[in-house]
Amino acid sequence: MKTIRLTVVTIAVVALAIAITFAQSVSRGRAEVASEESLAPHLHEHQPRLAYDTGTAAVWQDLERLGTIASALHVTAHPDDEDGGMLTFESRGRGARMALLTLTRGEGGQNLMSADFFDALGILRTEEQLAADRYYGVEQMFTPAIDYGFSKTADEARQKWGEDRVVGAVVLAIREFRPLVVIARFQGTPRDGHGHHQMSGIAAREAFAAAGDPTKYPEQLRDGLRPWTPLKLYMDNVHSNETWNVVIHSGDYKPTLGDTYADISRRGWWNHRTQFGGGYYAHTGVYDSYYKRLAPDGEGADKEKSFFSGINVGITGMAQFWNSNAAAENSPGASRIHSPAGAAPAWLTAGLEAIARNVQQAQRQFSAAGGNGHPEALAPVLARGLGMTRALRRRVEDAANRPAGADEVARELDLKIRQYEDAIADALGVEMYAYVAPEQQPTGFFARFVWQDTPRVVIPNEKFNVKIELTSRSPLPVAVKSVGLRASDAAWQLPADQTGGRVQEDQAAGAGQRAQELAGDHAETWRFELQTPAAPVLTRPYWHPRDSVEHSWYDLDRPQYELRPLAPYPLSAVAELTVNGLPVKIRRRVLTTEHVKGVGQQFVPLMTAPAISVTLAPRAGIVPLATQTVALTATVHSNVEGGAKGSVALDLPAGWTSEPANAAFDVEKQGEDATLDFTIHAAARDGARYRIGAVADWNGQQFREGYREVGYMGITPYPLYRPAAYRTTGVQVQVAPGLRIGYIMGTGDSVPAAMRVLGVTPHPITPGELASADLSQYDEIMLGVRAYVARDDVKRYNGRLLDYVRNGGVLVVQYNTFEFDHDYGPYPYKMGSGQEVTDETAAVEILDPRNPVLSFPNRITEADFDGWVEQRGSRFFDSWAPEYEALLSSHDPGQAPQRGGLLFARYGRGIYVLQSYALYRQLPEGVPGSYRLLANLLSLPKSSAR
């Protein structure tokens, strides 16, 4: 049975090695997907490349990678949890193949950069993580687990995610990446803090034990995926004064890279800007992280030189897979560390030894020639090594009586072939850019300095051009065998590959030549005419958007991409060079280009998108029964070249009408939006739920969903799709009339939009107004979410805000974090540890039902806390002066009652309120009670309290 399965795999692998290694279809099995295009884009596919990945620095790292089969998987819970210093040290400093498995995409985190939360934040943090990974030099994986918000215990995480599911996802990651070592970031105990952290530690241990056992998660073993037994397991979160086995000195300086590993990783980690707003440089000096070995032989205090001590991670170490893996499959956790290579055939051992000698020769020569700035001198040596590796790979394929482990040797040799190709291209200084080209190319001498922005997306049936620029910057001439395009979607009809130097155009250097060879500063360009298929696979998340933020596990629309950060982009360019008579392939994504003021030129991979996209904002809300009115805005985004005219109508519940019934749009330019306002006259009943949809009509086609690009300046944008729909509930809610509300915007703040649902239009207070305007014109001023971080002037003019209250104003301070723990109020308070009530169903006790916040104009009851999402609130206050009155109390299971979430004080002739309940999470989800509480907070100036 097993033999048959492995034979099938073997054929698939051979076919892949022969075929060009890019995805051609989305209907294939997972193992094929994983081996064709690695889980994360190849380091060299990111453009422009980091300085660490170019020139002699790149060649030195390529040679380190060639010389080892070391590999490790680092398991964490959220983007930003990783030990970036360790990853960078192992990948860039030791050449180990490293992957980072982040259980979630961090959907429940904060956002200091934009108004994206939940699913959108998950996409944004995926891109931030990928940006960080470029610095670490690692591949990236995510499980379908969702960060549903802070979790105090592993038990809560276990219950929400299902332990079996999490462990299964980590097992899958181990079976796909096939690491020699697993490195858990967390220990799986309360010491890790966050319940997700604990669960990631637990899952790493359990998966380490289960991945090699074919009876565990056997459903994963279809499509040719095989069990895999990693050899060692380590855990992080260990201090120097505790038992440890390995220490990583990431503060080491590497002159070839011009930096310490700690600093390189810091530059990567800064990309988690939604969480920290940017980073800090590492202090110079020692950066050590300590790791404890859990298997094999856990609890020993012996000091090891590295994670890979005791394992032959040299090239000859591949021989150990030949016979031993089959046995290891059936003895999970079994150590093969000290077992000899077994009876690997002599030809294999000899072949591996020859490759190892070739790499050593290249390394010696690099020290001499590379040090003189001429790494191209290595190309002939490396080409010889590439030839030997390809030959050995064929021999492994053709071997009689192949044992099960032969596939592992083949896989390792495939990695070496790719690494040789990278090393040769880097030694020669080969670079290739493929990008969507404008129809009219600039000409003349200055053309090389001119870039025209190109649309980021192509739509069905669109004709467009792709230009490929190829250069090999060393003096050594290199022949171009062919240049072409590959699609990740089988629906594309691609032009045939072109041979070397066939097309010449508008190059300042060598215009008009028909060159076959590249060298020096000479560049060649190729131009391809393409047409998007009528029904292309759209560039979008392969997971399904959640209907409710209470979902804790993504449903996958395209499960073949499970674990990948994103589904593949549609087009790549492939060039085949001939170096010393051997073919060497390089691959790059097809990009689009845009110049952004202040940031400069940005390259973003080309995406496929619909012609028309329609969205509704907001996404959820309420119908106040008093007005039976809903204001909605439909946004039509057109990707049609030359303009698009059409109309939008709403799908309404029976008996509801909209004004207008049908709105026309006329978008003149590609990439632009039209907004259409609708006023809906509802006939909602109290507590009843409704759905409103929007349908755009263009060119005889209907569109019912839309996307927006998530991201901020400098981070790669990615589309988030949503059905054009609005969820709403009829709610009995009153607001005092004639309110003049001033609002200071916070971070990612959608509270003002919710105010408008209640019929209140807040006035945004600018820094200039806060500094000098007469604030008494406002009945009330509300500070947005984390206003003390979002606006520096709020700290500076805090005194003016307090004066405003003393003179009779109402100030409502919404949720802040520790930046607010500095006595900004009229009376002392302490946030202290900043307690959170994470259970969104935790009972809420009303302490003073007569206080106007809880009684005017709406009587707030326990029912108003039904249907909340994610949490009750966080950063509640620990202690406060007696002038503050606590209005509500709530707590998680096992937690002392928390009364510091809503505090009310009179000050002078005014009112000062500290409000830390997570209204800002509830309002965009249309939670009825949150609107009633907001209405009361807004109505305070008209209450009897004043």
Strand-pairing partners, residue 529, are 465
Q: CB of residue 550 vs Zn ion: minimum separation in angstroms?
A: 20
Q: CB of residue 193 vs Zn ion: minimum separation in angstroms?
A: 8
* CA–CA gap between residue 436 and residue 105 (Å, rounded): 30
* CA–CA gap between residue 76 and residue 87 (Å, rounded): 12
Task: From 701, 780, 804, 816, select the one nearest 939 (Cα to Cα).
Answer: 780
Per-residue contact string for residues 49-88; x = within reach of Zn ion by CB under 5 A? ----------------------------xx--x-------
Residue nearest to Zn ion (CB): 78
Measured from the CB atom, the residue of 750 and 838 that comes closer to Zn ion is 838
Per-residue contact string for residues 756-795; x = within reach of Zn ion by CB under 5 A? ----------------------------------------
Q: CB of residue 104 vs Zn ion: minimum separation in angstroms?
A: 9
* CA–CA gap between residue 742 and residue 765 (Å, rounded): 6
Measured from the CB atom, the residue of 78 and 97 that comes closer to Zn ion is 78
Q: CB of residue 109 vs Zn ion: minimum separation in angstroms?
A: 8
Q: What angle do CA 123, 544, 695 make, to 5 degrees?
A: 100
Which amino acid, 364? R
Measured from the CB atom, the residue of 81 and 864 that comes closer to Zn ion is 81
Dihedrals phi, psi of 355, to nearest 5 degrees: -65, -45
Q: 725-731 and 689-698 as β-strands: parallel, antiparallel, unpaired? A: antiparallel
Measured from the CB atom, the residue of 157 and 744 that comes closer to Zn ion is 157
Which amino acid, 208? F
Number of H helices, E strands in the chain: 23, 45
Q: How many CB atoms lie within 10 A of CB 505?
A: 14
Q: CB of residue 910 vs Zn ion: minimum separation in angstroms?
A: 40
* CA–CA gap between residue 747 and residue 112 (Å, rounded): 6
Strand-pairing partners, residue 291, are 246
Q: CB of residue 250 vs Zn ion: minimum separation in angstroms?
A: 19
Q: 725-731 and 620-624 as β-strands: parallel, antiparallel, unpaired? A: parallel
Q: CB of residue 759 vs Zn ion: minimum separation in angstroms?
A: 40
DSSP state of 569: P
Q: Where are the beta strands (DSSP E) in 77-229?
A: 97-102, 139-142, 181-184
Alpha helices, H only, 402-496: 406-428
* CA–CA gap between residue 587 and residue 45 (Å, rounded): 7
The count of C-alpha atoms lying within 13 angstroms of the C-alpha of 363, restricted to the half-sphere facing its C-beta, is 15
Measured from the CB atom, the residue of 101 and 663 that comes closer to Zn ion is 101
Dihedrals phi, psi of 379, to nearest 5 degrees: -55, -45
Whether the Cβ atoms of residue 868 and residue 840 lie closer than 8 Å to each other: yes
Measured from the CB atom, the residue of 188 and 230 that comes closer to Zn ion is 188
Q: What residues from 673 to 712 belong to the interface with Zn ion (CB under 5 A)?
A: none
Q: CB of residue 77 vs Zn ion: minimum separation in angstroms?
A: 5
Q: What residues from 81 to 120 belong to the interface with Zn ion (CB under 5 A)?
A: 81
Measured from the CB atom, the residue of 79 and 460 that comes closer to Zn ion is 79
Question: 212-247 burial string, b = 16+ CB within 10 Å, else e?
Answer: bbeebbeebbebbbbbbbbbbbbbbbbeeeeebbbb
Measured from the CB atom, the residue of 82 and 329 that comes closer to Zn ion is 82
Q: CB of residue 198 vs Zn ion: minimum separation in angstroms?
A: 11
Measured from the CB atom, the residue of 81 and 489 that comes closer to Zn ion is 81
Q: CB of residue 108 vs Zn ion: minimum separation in angstroms?
A: 10
Task: From 589, 563, 588, 414, select the one nearest 99 (Cα to Cα).
Answer: 563
Total chain residues near Zn ion (CB under 5 A): 3
DSSP state of 560: G
Alpha helices, H only, 342-378: 346-369
Q: CB of residue 573 vs Zn ion: minimum separation in angstroms?
A: 37
Q: CB of residue 772 vs Zn ion: minimum separation in angstroms?
A: 42
Q: CB of residue 80 vs Zn ion: minimum separation in angstroms?
A: 6
Strand-pairing partners, residue 913, are 812, 904
Whether the Cβ atoms of residue 319 and residue 399 lie closer than 8 Å to each other: no
Measured from the CB atom, the residue of 46 and 78 that comes closer to Zn ion is 78
Measured from the CB atom, the residue of 133 and 407 that comes closer to Zn ion is 133
Identify the three-state secondary structure at position 459.
Answer: coil
Question: 329-349 burial string, b = 16+ CB within 10 Å, else e?
Answer: beebbbbbbeeebbebbeebe
Measured from the CB atom, the residue of 74 and 393 that comes closer to Zn ion is 74
DSSP state of 167: H
Measured from the CB atom, the residue of 102 and 114 that comes closer to Zn ion is 102
Whether the Cβ atoms of residue 554 and residue 563 lie closer than 8 Å to each other: no
3-state helix, strand, coil in the chain (%, to 5): 30, 25, 40
Q: 741-744 and 763-764 as β-strands: parallel, antiparallel, unpaired? A: parallel
Measured from the CB atom, the residue of 78 and 336 that comes closer to Zn ion is 78
Q: CB of residue 378 vs Zn ion: minimum separation in angstroms?
A: 42
Whether the Cβ atoms of residue 762 and residue 755 lie closer than 8 Å to each other: yes
DSSP state of 109: S
Identify the three-state secondary structure at position 621.
Answer: strand
Q: CB of residue 236 vs Zn ion: minimum separation in angstroms?
A: 12
Examine residue 147 and tell whether it contacts Zn ion (CB under 5 A): no
DSSP state of 898: B
Measured from the CB atom, the residue of 77 and 184 that comes closer to Zn ion is 77
Dig out the tokens for 433 from the structure. 């850019």
Whether the Cβ atoms of residue 185 and residue 200 lie closer than 8 Å to each other: yes
Measured from the CB atom, the residue of 150 and 703 that comes closer to Zn ion is 150
Task: From 585, 567, 589, 565, select the one nearest 577 (Cα to Cα).
Answer: 585
Q: CB of residue 197 vs Zn ion: minimum separation in angstroms?
A: 6
Q: CB of residue 838 vs Zn ion: minimum separation in angstroms?
A: 14
Dig out the tokens for 533 from the structure. 């298929």
Dig out the tokens for 936 from the structure. 């009361």
* CA distance from start to end of the chain: 82
Measured from the CB atom, the residue of 238 and 476 that comes closer to Zn ion is 238
Q: CB of residue 557 vs Zn ion: minimum separation in angstroms?
A: 27
Measured from the CB atom, the residue of 81 and 892 that comes closer to Zn ion is 81
Query: Which residues here bind Zn ion, judged by CB under 5 A?
Result: 77-78, 81
